[in-house]
Every structure is written in structure tokens, then in C-alpha cells.
């Protein structure tokens, strides 16, 4: 209620104050308008006070509104002796406020967060630069179907890049660019009729929904519960639910056997962020920026530098258990394809990633999992554990890839009351599903800033960070072993069947090392 009344009470206060200034020589009208102003301003103040939002967000908002309330009547009153000029300016001001500012007022409260950070592109949206992925049968070459390619004006290029071609047959996959206007069903039939094509699947697009957040910079202080001085710890409600203080006790005086590498496959990562750079390893310089902010937020959740007096903290209290890297599989606008994501998985595996973190995905069908399945298998054989988001569509994750691909750990999101988050997909029909906090998650964003987002995208790097920690203690840990640890030591949620168990890092580490 307070959020919806906020713009109304502001406009009414502004109108009454402007009228009061104009009519100040008329005692009766002035008294009437002053009463309207004070009444509406009190209501406006109540709306501001009780609206949803943190004070660090609400005070700048209030200052913004007070400046407008003060300036408009004062400036207009300069022209009050000329009625024509005054009312002309008043009309222009009101029109400008209505078109340029009223929308901002309407969206001021509640404090905006990203309510859904991953989604599919529109139904059947395929990459216009390569609509199909095909697998050529063993001991055959793409040149053998050249006649069919030419007949339908198709272009075929190798789909995937990888170092160890002997470990998979993904090197037999080609990207097929289908000209505009061509019937896709007809093209598939023609390729199938050659008898040389093992598999055809669509190269679907995946997009990130727009993200909105408000940067916050709390003052540094020692948090006695965790023994850290990261000021953002007060915003990490999930640390309490996941008993991270207990984890730090378990890890005290314990050294990792290796520093595990977590690869964030996303929109890139701001490698120079104040709370990431000391834990960041560059894969390629072109991956080390992030205009969208999504990848940087995920990286902070998985591997922020702890106890450095800025930002937030991660599960690695002493910063020697995990490092993080970036592989950009989504554009600056947040768009990717099945091909770009799979290539990212392969690159992460080839570069020695211990954990591959995928806070992305989209709707698909069972018949479209084959290339993903082969990529996950390749990563597993290279020693990587793949962790993926369940998705944000309030549906069953079995219909989403790569959430439903065999061999991944799928992550649902829970809210502050440990209910399944309203947007989170459910995981009862995937083989390895767990839960992590995914609502009001505070983490890094580009420019050494911080913000709060919602999504299974945020829950996923919590699990990736924990799996990285486990891999640092037992480098040979497999996906199945990691899942069994998380599941057997996890806590019940309010809807465990839909979410899986909430990860408890301390319990998982204790069971691993004992």
C-alpha cells in the first residue's frame, strides 16, 4: 500500500506547495493550500518511512524528492507576477515531471532487485548465425554431405573447440547456418536422408533478464561472529542459515591440498573489483570485464576475498582454498547460445577448472541434451564438477538445460524463511539437486560496487564455492561424491522435496576430512 501511494502523495505535495507559493498574498487560499500540503506531506513521509527498502537506499531517494519539492515552487514563484508566463511554465513542468519522472516514482519502492536473472529467449529462438548443430557419424567427414549443403545453401563450420579430441566426439559436431526463409524441418529431413548425420539439434539462444539493484557500501568493522572485517557480512543472511561460522572453526589451522579453480561461465567478471582481484586468475583478458554485472555478482558469491575490509566474504576464510576465473559465454547484452555455453564448458575443462559454475539455462526438450551431455562428460573426465542453476520459471527443472543434464549438480533457490523461492524451478526429477540461498543475495558488481539480486543464479555459486572448497581438500573428488556429501549433510527446508537439502558447509567438510 505504501509503495503504491508514494508517487500520489509526492505529486499532491508538490501541487499543493506550488499553489501555496502562488497564492501566498491571498490569506484564505494560502491557508487552505497549506493545510493540503502539510497533510499530503505527512502522508508522503509515512509512505517513505514504511516502504520496503534499506535506509542506505531510502535516504538518497528522500533527498532526491525534497530537492524537487523545494526547487519547483521557488523557481516558478519568480514568475508569479506574470500569470501567463507562470502557468505556461507550470504546465511545461508538470508535463515534464509526468513523462520523465512519474515512472521513477512508481518504481521507487519496494527497493528493486533482480527477480529473475535467467530466462530463455522467445520460444524457438535460434542463433541466426547458426541454427543447427549436427554430429557427423564416426569415420565420415562433413565434405561427404557437401552436395546437400550446397543444394540448400547451408554453411557448415566446426562447432566446438577443445584440446583433447580423443576424449569425446564433440569434434564431429558442426554448426549449420540456415539461410533466412528456408524451412528448418525440410533442412533437417535432408540432412537425415544422407545417412551420414548421427544427430541434429537446434542451437537455441539463452538470454539474461534485465537486472536492477542499488549499490551499498557499509562501513568496515569486525564481525565477531565470523572473525572477519568485511562490512557486507551483515547483509549475508545465508551465512547464518548455512552455519558459516561453524565452517570457519572447522577450517581453522587446516591447509588445502591444492587451491581449487572455480570457472564462472557468464557475462564476464570484473577482474579488477576490489573484492575479487586478489582471488582472481585470468583465463583470457577479453573475459575480464563485465558490462552486464551478472557474472561479477556470481563470482563474489563463490570466491570473494574474505577479511580484507571491503565488500563481502566467501567460504574460504583465509583465501587459500579457492580462486576464481571467468569464461565469457554470454554477450554484454546477456545473450548466449547452446554452442557458446558448451564451448565455455570445454574451455574451462581444458584450462584445469575444478568447478564449472553455470548460472544460466533455458527450456528445452529431452532430445536436445546430447551435445550438453557430451560436454559435461568431457569436463568430468578432466576432473571438473559442473554446477548449474535450476532456473527461475517456477516449473520443473527436468524441462530445462543444462539443469536436467545427467552428471551436473542442479541448484534450486530458497528464501530467508527456507521456503522454495517463488521463482525457483523444482528439482524432484533431476538426479542430483540441492538448495542454497537465492533471495536478497548481496554481492559484488562491476566498478567495486555491491548490490542485492534474486535468482537460482545466485544460489548456484554458493554451491560452486562449497564444491571448490571440498575439491581443495580432496582434489580427486568426483561429482557423485560431492553430491552425496552435500545431500547427506544438508538441512531440511520447508519444502525439501521441491528444493533438495540446503547445503551446510561445515558438516560437509567435517564428513569429508574425517
Same domain, 352 and 439: yes
In a domain, 430, yes or no: yes
Judge if 176 and 49 occupy the same domain: no
Residue 266 falls in the annotated catalytic set: yes
283, part of any domain? yes
With respect to residue 254, please indicate whether it lies within any of the assigned structural domains. yes
Active site residue 457: yes
Same domain, yes or no, for 428 and 362? yes
- Domain span at residue 143 reads 131-202
CATH number for position 184: 3.30.70
Which of 40, 457, 464, 472 is catalytic? The answer is: 457
> Is residue 222 situated within a structural domain?
no
- 217 is a domain residue: no
Beta bridge partners of 126: 204
Element (H, E) at 200: strand 197-202
Q: Are residues 93 and 176 in the same domain?
A: no
Residue 162 forms part of a structural domain: yes
Domain edge (last residue) among 150, 185, 202: 202
Identify whether residues 243 and 95 lie together within a single domain: no
Q: Which one is catalytic: 294, 297, 448, 472?
A: 294
Contacts of 383 (CB under 8 A, 6+ apart): 352, 354, 475, 476
Count the Cβ atoms, other than its own, within 10 Å of residue 511: 14
Q: Is residue 115 part of a domain?
A: no
| Coil, helix or strand at residue 453 | strand
Q: 314 with 166, same domain?
A: no
Domain count, the chain: 3
Catalytic residue among 127, 172, 230, 266: 266
**What CATH code is carried by the domain that includes residue 315?**
3.40.50.200
Residues 189 and 252 in one domain: no
Per the structure block, which three cell numbers stand in for 334?
546477456
183 and 236 belong to one structural domain: no
**Of the candidates 202, 220, 247, which is a domain's last residue?**
202
268 and 363 in a single domain? The answer is yes
pLDDT tens by residue, the chain, 514 residues: 556 688 888 888 888 888 888 888 888 888 898 889 899 999 988 888 877 655 655 777 788 888 888 888 888 888 878 888 888 888 888 788 776 676 667 656 654 443 334 444 454 588 899 999 999 999 999 999 999 999 999 999 999 999 998 899 999 999 999 999 899 999 999 999 999 999 999 998 887 765 655 455 556 667 778 999 999 998 999 999 999 999 999 999 999 999 999 999 999 999 999 999 999 999 999 999 999 999 999 999 999 999 999 999 999 989 999 999 999 999 988 889 999 999 999 999 999 999 999 999 888 765 667 899 999 999 999 999 999 999 998 999 999 999 999 999 999 999 999 999 999 999 999 999 999 999 999 999 998 999 999 999 999 999 999 999 999 999 999 999 999 999 999 999 999 999 999 999 999 999 999 8
435 and 490, same domain (yes or no): yes
pLDDT for residue 121:
45
Question: Does one domain contain both 450 and 357?
Answer: yes
155 and 275 share a domain? Answer: no
Total-model pTM: 0.77
Distance CA 279, CA 322 (A): 8
> Is residue 216, in this structure, part of any structural domain at all?
no
Tell me whether residue 294 is one of the annotated catalytic residues: yes
Residue whose C-alpha cell is 525534497 = 66
CA distance 196 to 194: 5
Q: What is the DSSP letter of 114?
A: B
- 108: helix, strand or coil: coil
pLDDT reported for residue 56 = 56
Amino acid at each position: 500500500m505504501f509503495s503504491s501511494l508514494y508517487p500520489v502523495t509526492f505529486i499532491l505535495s508538490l501541487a499543493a506547495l506550488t499553489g501555496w507559493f502562488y497564492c501566498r498574498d491571498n490569506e484564505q487560499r494560502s491557508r487552505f493550500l497549506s493545510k493540503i500540503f502539510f497533510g499530503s506531506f505527512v502522508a508522503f513521509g509515512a509512505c517513505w518511512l514504511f516502504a520496503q527498502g534499506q535506509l542506505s537506499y531510502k535516504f538518497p531517494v528522500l533527498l532526491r524528492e525534497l530537492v524537487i519539492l523545494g526547487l519547483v515552487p521557488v523557481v516558478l514563484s519568480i514568475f508569479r507576477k506574470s500569470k501567463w508566463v507562470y502557468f505556461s511554465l507550470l504546465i511545461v513542468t508538470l508535463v515534464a515531471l509526468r513523462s520523465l519522472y512519474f515512472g521513477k516514482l512508481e518504481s521507487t519502492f519496494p527497493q528493486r532487485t533482480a527477480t529473475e536473472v535467467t530466462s530463455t529467449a522467445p520460444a524457438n529462438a535460434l542463433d541466426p548465425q547458426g541454427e543447427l548443430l549436427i554430429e557427423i557419424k564416426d569415420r565420415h567427414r562433413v565434405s561427404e554431405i557437401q552436395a546437400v549443403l550446397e543444394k540448400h545453401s547451408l554453411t557448415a563450420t566446426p562447432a566446438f573447440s577443445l584440446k583433447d579430441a580423443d576424449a569425446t566426439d564433440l569434434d564431429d559436431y558442426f554448426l549449420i547456418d540456415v539461410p533466412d526463409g528456408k524451412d528448418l524441418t525440410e533442412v533437417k529431413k535432408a540432412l537425415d536422408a544422407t545417412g551420414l548425420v548421427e544427430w541434429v539439434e537446434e542451437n537455441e539462444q539463452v538470454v539474461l533478464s534485465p537486472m536492477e539493484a542499488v549499490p551499498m557500501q557499509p562501513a568496515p568493522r569486525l564481525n565477531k561472529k565470523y572473525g572477519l572485517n568485511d562490512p557486507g557480512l551483515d547483509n549475508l543472511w545465508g551465512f547464518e542459515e548455512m552455519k558459516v561460522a561453524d565452517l570457519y572453526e572447522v577450517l581453522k589451522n587446516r591447509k588445502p591440498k591444492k587451491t581449487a579453480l572455480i570457472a564462472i561461465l557468464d557475462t564476464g567478471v570484473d577482474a579488477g573489483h576490489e573484492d575479487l582481484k586478489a582471488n582472481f586468475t585470468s583465463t583470457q583478458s577479453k573475459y575480464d570485464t563485465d558490462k552486464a554485472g551478472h557474472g561479477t555478482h556470481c563470482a563474489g558469491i563463490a570466491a570473494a576475498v574474505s577479511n580484507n575490509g571491503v565488500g563481502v566474504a566467501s567460504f574460504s576464510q583465509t583465501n587459500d582454498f579457492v580462486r576464481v576465473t571467468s569464461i565469457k559465454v554470454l554477450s554484454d547484452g546477456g545473450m548466449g547460445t547452446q554452442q557458446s555455453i558448451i564451448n565455455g564448458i570445454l574451455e574451462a575443462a581444458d584450462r584445469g577448472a575444478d568447478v564449472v559454475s553455470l548460472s544460466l539455462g533455458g527450456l528445452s526438450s529431452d532430445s536436445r541434451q546430447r551435445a550438453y551431455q557430451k560436454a559435461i562428460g568431457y569436463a568430468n573426465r578432466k576432473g571438473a564438477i559442473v554446477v548449474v542453476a535450476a532456473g527461475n520459471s517456477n516449473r520443473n527443472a527436468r524441462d530445462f538445460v543444462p539443469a536436467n543434464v545427467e552428471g551436473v549438480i542442479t541448484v534450486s533457490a530458497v528464501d530467508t524463511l527456507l521456503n522454495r523461492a517463488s521463482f525457483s524451478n523444482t528439482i524432484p526429477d533431476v538426479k542430483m539437486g540441492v538448495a542454497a540461498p537465492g533471495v536478497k543475495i548481496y554481492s559484488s558488481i562491476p566498478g567495486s560496487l555491491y548490490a542485492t539480486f534474486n535468482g537460482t543464479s545466485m544460489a548456484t555459486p554458493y554451491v560452486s564455492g562449497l564444491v571448490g572448497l571440498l575439491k581443495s581438500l580432496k582434489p580427486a573428488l568426483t561429482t557423485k561424491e560431492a553430491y552425496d556429501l552435500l545431500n547427506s549433510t544438508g538441512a531440511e527446508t520447508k519444502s525439501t522435496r521441491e528444493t533438495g537439502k540446503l547445503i551446510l558447509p561445515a558438516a560437509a567438510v567435517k564428513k569429508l576430512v574425517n
